[in-house]
Amino acid sequence: MSYEPQVAFQTKNSPLPDLPLANVLGVGIHAVNLPWAADIIDAAIEKKKKGYVCVTSVHGVMEAHRNPELYRALASAMLVVPDGMPTVWVGRSQGHHLMRRVFGPDLMLELCRRSAKNGCTHFLYGGKPHVAEELAATLTQRFPGIKVVGTYTPPFRPLTQVEQAALKHQLECVDPDILWVGLSTPKQELFMARNICQLNCRVMVGVGAAFDIHTGRLNDSPNWVKEAGLQWLHRLCQEPSRLWKRYLINNSQFLARLTLQFLGLKSYELGDSG
């Protein structure tokens, strides 16, 4: 796969000013692919640039239209990658021909593979009880030499002041390069935006279902299903009671808005979440 690395950290307000940006219904998604995204994160860590990475699909785009704080979190991210073929198709229609899907679990594996050689350290935050510990064991077995320096399983509610202080202390002790956040959208994006300046790490990456996929709790989709943009259907078959409403509402609204945009009946500027 070809790509054009354009890693640059030149301005105070935007650490990646030279990256092409696709406009997906007013939400900016960087027009990158997997190796390019991994290079950007590696460069940020090497240059000690602090920031967070959002892995964004149709669900994230539509949630951002309903939640101004999520929209601001996406707009403030160091990197927003296209985790879904519909977002890629929109980007390609805008001339971003190098844009490819950056699936969160794939991004995690690629950075873990690289870190077994470059020494990057990892901290796992999220998942149900014992999932993060199991994931740490799985990654250690799969990538000999990888350094997973800690895990934290948060409760299914906001952290108390005592819990927040305990997490902060744990991270200060282990000083990870990457803090992997597996909370699902929009919780993980809001967590990263609220805590990137408070918690000790270089880069946060929100990867949603990666914790469950890499520990075998969820089955990953075949490649042909992903390329066809049907992974949502594969996920729906595995978790119908949890996901049916999300996909029914988000997918239909996304298609309706996208149709209006392509017909020229409505335009979405970056910064327009309405």
Digit-coded pLDDT (tens) for 110-154? 999 999 889 999 999 999 999 999 999 999 999 999 999 999 999
Q: Please report, as a single letter, which amino acid is at residue 1.
A: M
Pick from 71, 75, 97, 68: which is nearest to 16 by CA? 75
- Least confident segment among 87-96, 110-119, 183-192, 226-235: 226-235
Q: Is residue 272 part of a domain?
A: no
| pLDDT over threshold 60, residue 195 | yes
Question: Which residue range is the domain that position 197 belongs to?
Answer: 21-214
Tokens representing residue 54 in the block? 């959002």
Tally the residues of the chain: 274
Q: Is residue 107 part of a domain?
A: yes
Q: Is residue 79 part of a domain?
A: yes
- Report how far residue 174's alpha carbon sits from residue 149's, in angstroms, rounded to the nearest whole number: 6
Which CATH number goes with the domain that contains 175?
3.40.50
- Report how far residue 17's alpha carbon sits from residue 136's, in angstroms, rounded to the nearest whole number: 34
Q: Is residue 8 part of a domain?
A: no
The mean pLDDT of 94-117, rounded to a whole number, is: 95
Q: Could you tell me the CA-to-CA distances from 247 to 159, 184, 239, 250 in Å, in that order?
A: 29, 14, 11, 5
The backbone region for 155, taken as left when phi is positive above 0, alpha when psi lies in -120 to 50, beta otherwise, is beta
Residues 6+ apart with CB under 8 A from 223: none
Q: Is residue 221 part of a domain?
A: no
Q: Is residue 222 part of a domain?
A: no
Tokens representing residue 100 in the block? 């490819």
Between 16 and 250, the higher pLDDT residue: 250
Total domains in the chain come to 1
Indicate the average pLDDT of the chain. 86
Tokens representing residue 130 in the block? 């014992």
Q: Is residue 6 part of a domain?
A: no
